[in-house]
Structure 1
Amino acid sequence: MTLTAQLQAAGRAPALAVDVPLAAGGSARVEQWLRILPGKRLVAQAMQGDTPVLLKLFVGASAARHCERERAGMNALAEQGITAPRLLAEGELDGGGRYLMTEFLCAAQSLQQTWDALSSREPGAGEAMTLLGKALAVIAELHSKGLTQTDLHLGNFLLQGEQVFVIDGDAVEAVSPGQPLTAEQAQQNLAIFFAQLVPEWDAFTELLLISYLQHNPLALNPDKLAASVVRIRQRRQDDYLGKSLRDCTLFSVQRSWLRFTTVVRSQSERMRSVLRDPDSYFGAQPLLKDGGSSTVAKVALGDGSVVIKRYNIKGFMHWLKRFWRPSRAWHSWQAAHRLAFLGIATPAPLAMIERRFGPLRREAWLINEYCAGDHLLNVLGERGELAPDDITGPALLKVFQQLVAARISHGDCKATNLLWLDGEVLLIDLDAMQQHQSLRQWQQAWAKDRARFIRNWPQGSPLANWLEQHLPVVATNTD
């Protein structure tokens, strides 16, 4: 079997210590796989003799085309003097694939890794602003040289010391090499970058643009940029939610006539026994809930605990109402990932299972990370005798402001459906959650959510009065 065929057949688990013959003689030995797109492309850290290198192996049906795009992007960066890893070699793989070899940047990490390690990523936080400014300075340099990066995110920039490198030549396009992009072209590309951030960062866009404009002064239109950011973020959100239901890098999905299962891929091993038989965990410990519509258990699993929620079928008539549409577990899975995408706090969704008979749904299970927080009825008191303090008040308003900005209604705003944990309010029980396209429907849904949340406490109580004064009010309007 040729090397290309071996790598295609290996799926997501290619062997290590693979020797890749080089066109100029010798070989490079793979030491670590960094990224794998099964049957298409693999990225590896390798050694050529005593020299560390980065290998990109193209093994799919379009290997030559993708390799050429990568090489053209890297050449465009080099020709315009943009700091990027040097291309060292290229050639054919045995069996029809292609390879590119670049220098390996030792002790470098992506801006995404640096971002994830920040002590605070709250909008406006100093370290976060500085890091985003570094990326925007490089984007400005790209634009000033007539280049765009069509997959603009922090993971496509490497930081070595104080130097930022551009990677992923496949996404580099030479729009007007050597000539600055127009303001319209730059705005459209910048929108891709800003759409990667949670919506709360939108208020800081103009401040962040100072880092960009210092390197590429253009007459940008803030309103047009903001509109593009909203549009692209919505498209990214829809794409992400679609990925949560199909087998991909982030999610492992299995379908059969009798079952549908999706799990966050990084949690697959931890979830293995739960996915095999979720009901076996309900008898081992006291249940958190044992109602007609759902059964809930907390389970110690791996290095933490999870909550398993089974959505029951109460009888034949109940099944007739439910079998033809996605289960409540399916809906909650999508809702939780929607919130996570938008930076709205909720327990991490880990896996979802539907029992089926062909297209007909039966019982379903949702597995979330366990959060040890207390619900707001306990935290704020059932009688509402006190208004929220300077910590709980802003945190409470933040989550509702986020929901309003995204036009999301919870649908069941009982105080027991909001948890307080480490200075943050988390939303749970997302069965009825909706994101509304219609402004009128959103206004009606938000009015119900707002009124229901205030009714958790006695009318006229200090807490109810505070909520009435401070919770966002959406003005009535028509589409």
Structure 2
Amino acid sequence: MEIAEEESLEKIEITEILRIVPQKRFIAIANWRGSNVIVKLFFGPLHWKRNLAKDISGITLLRERNLRTPSLLHNALTAGNNGAALIMQYLSDGKTLTECMQNAVTSQERHSLLSLATRSIATCHRFGLRQIDVHMDNFLLSDKEVYYLDGGQIQVQGESLEEELAYDNFALFLAQFKVENDEAIGDLLHEYHLENKTCSAPVYADILRRVKRARNLRLINYEKKLLRSTTANRNIRSLDKFAVYDREIHSPLLEDFISDPNRYIVKDKLMKDGNASTVAELFLDGKGYVLKRYNFRSLWHSIKYQFKPSRAARSWCNASILSMLGVYTPRPYLFIEERFAGFLKHKAYFLAEKIEAVNLWELTEKEEFSTAELSKITDSFRKLFNIMIDYKISHGDMKATNFIFYEDKLLVLDLDAMKRHGSKRSFYRAIQKDLDRFMKNWRESPHEEEFRKVIDELKLPAEPNF
């Protein structure tokens, strides 16, 4: 890579790419003038000048308030003047709080990191600053000190942040975590108030309401990215297919699979062979997966799905949404839509993690199935149903065979009929249908009473006036 220096060009050697935001920027470790540095390259057409200015402004705002941020060493245009580079201090021992969370072993370690982030956010607010899209990657831990990253996200709102803005911004941060983390909100509010007394003591119920609202907005924004190329996923568009896959499984064999997935469905590995779908086990690069091929039953069935997302695409999106909320489901790795002329849909395929366990129906039918295990299962369903109610989610096919209880976790399967509802009316009908179908599994079974208790304890939405 080359940057412009007066009338000459200066080389920067990129050694490791850290992050790519397609058509906007990338961040990398590089060698510049004999030293390791961080390079942030802005190249998005029309917007790179504005994004560069915002980043420099944010860094300046932080440094003016003596808040730690990696030093800005240099900025320059790229060769050709169609982009710009920010060259910043590289903290070799630094890890983002996201990386620290991934490496944390105990719940206490994870809570300590959340407390550290909470205090950092509160300090920002005390100085009148907020990060527009605040998350754990915006903080770097180096030599036991927290550094603020991503100056482009920094906005100033006076000497101290107004209470409404401060609490909404803090709720936005909390909303990025799984629902189970909401149990820690009370402790984190205490940490926040210790660091920022310019706001009145936050009320738990008020913050929880803001978190749920922010999480719903995050889900909407997240859904928009699920079919695009991102740091985590890659999409492929051509005249004969549309596919999105997890970059983690990229390999030459995967490319061959994408070119002809049907060839990987072999008779002796079939798990189901029906009119609507075919399910088979397969192995790629030594790892086991489940492949589901969605078939068109008739011409009318084919026409209907030309005007809506394929069932494979819905399964991909819904699995990702459930994972974001903290609901377990076999990890989604890929979906493919076969197309004619670039837009007419044909067969579709969904590839997911293979879970080596029996489904819930088979588990509960075993002689050795215990009361203790039933208690764990009913507790898991209680949590699942509450998430569904809070975020207006219906499953669409609550057969017991569509669940697996494995390693003390409840996994939800068969997500192509799952839906997030925009209205109370449609959700009320759908959740009632889900719960009725769920209880049908246990009618006249030894477990009916325990599952009925779970349903009876739920705080269901009031029936709307139809």
When normalised by structure 1's length, the TM-score is 0.88
What's the CA shift string for 1:256-286, capped at 9, x where partnerless?
3432212223333363222111100112642
Residue 45 (str. 1) matches residue 29 (str. 2): yes
Q: Which residue of 1 aligns with 2:101?
A: 115
Question: How big is the shift at 1:71?
Answer: 1.0
Moved more, 77-86 or 282-291: 282-291
Residue 98 (str. 1) matches residue 84 (str. 2): yes
Structure 1 residue aligned with 2:280, among 297, 319, 323? Answer: 297
- Unaligned runs of 5+ residues in structure 2 are none
What's the CA shift string for 1:180-235, capped at 9, x where partnerless?
21211211221221111122323432321111111111214545433332232222
Q: Distance in 2 between matches of 1:452 and 1:265?
A: 37
Q: Which residue of 1 aligns with 2:292?
A: 309
User: What RMSD in Å do the two structures reach over aligned CA positions?
Assistant: 2.5
Structure 1 residue aligned with 2:397, among 385, 409, 412? Answer: 412
Q: Which residue of 2 aligns with 1:279?
A: 262
Question: How big is the shift at 1:347?
Answer: 0.8
Q: Which residue of 2 aligns with 1:402?
A: 387
Q: Which residue of 2 aligns with 1:350?
A: 333
Question: How big is the shift at 1:76?
Answer: 0.9
Residue 161 (str. 1) matches residue 143 (str. 2): yes
Partner-residue secondary structure (3-state), 2:101: helix
What's the CA shift string for 1:399-435, capped at 9, x where partnerless?
3333233222211111110012211010111122122
Q: Distance in 1 between matches of 2:340 and 2:32?
A: 53
Contact in 2 for aligned 1:21/1:27 (Cα 8 Å): no
Partner-residue secondary structure (3-state), 1:365: strand
Contact in 1 for aligned 2:378/2:450 (Cα 8 Å): no
Q: Which residue of 1 aligns with 2:344?
A: 360
Amino acid in the other structure paired with 1:263: Y
Structure 2 residue aligned with 1:213, among 182, 187, 193? Answer: 193
Partner-residue secondary structure (3-state), 1:30: strand
Question: How big is the shift at 1:477?
Answer: 2.5
Q: Distance in 2 between matches of 1:60 and 1:146?
A: 29
Amino acid in the other structure paired with 2:66: G
Partner-residue secondary structure (3-state), 1:305: strand
Amino acid in the other structure paired with 2:441: N
Amino acid in the other structure paired with 1:329: A
Q: Distance in 2 between matches of 1:361 and 1:39?
A: 28
Amino acid in the other structure paired with 2:30: A
Moved more, 133-142 or 49-58: 49-58
Residue 237 (str. 1) matches residue 219 (str. 2): yes
Contact in 1 for aligned 2:269/2:282 (Cα 8 Å): no
Moved more, 408-417 or 49-58: 49-58
- Distance of aligned partners of 1:171 and 1:421 in 2 relative to their CA distance in 1, 3 Å threshold: same
Residue 54 (str. 1) matches residue 13 (str. 2): no
Amino acid in the other structure paired with 1:259: K
Q: Which residue of 1 aligns with 2:438?
A: 453
Q: Distance in 2 between matches of 1:215 and 1:221?
A: 16
Q: Distance in 1 between matches of 2:401 and 2:66?
A: 57
Question: How big is the shift at 1:135?
Answer: 0.3
Question: How big is the shift at 1:52?
Answer: 1.7
Residue 83 (str. 1) matches residue 63 (str. 2): no
- Distance of aligned partners of 1:113 and 1:22 in 2 relative to their CA distance in 1, 3 Å threshold: farther
Q: Distance in 2 between matches of 1:84 and 1:108?
A: 12
Partner-residue secondary structure (3-state), 1:374: coil
Amino acid in the other structure paired with 1:35: R
Q: Which residue of 1 aligns with 2:410?
A: 425
- Unaligned runs of 5+ residues in structure 1 are 1-17
- The percent identity for this pair of structures is 31
Partner-residue secondary structure (3-state), 1:371: coil
Contact in 2 for aligned 1:324/1:361 (Cα 8 Å): no
Q: Distance in 1 between matches of 2:123 and 2:217?
A: 27
When normalised by structure 2's length, the TM-score is 0.90
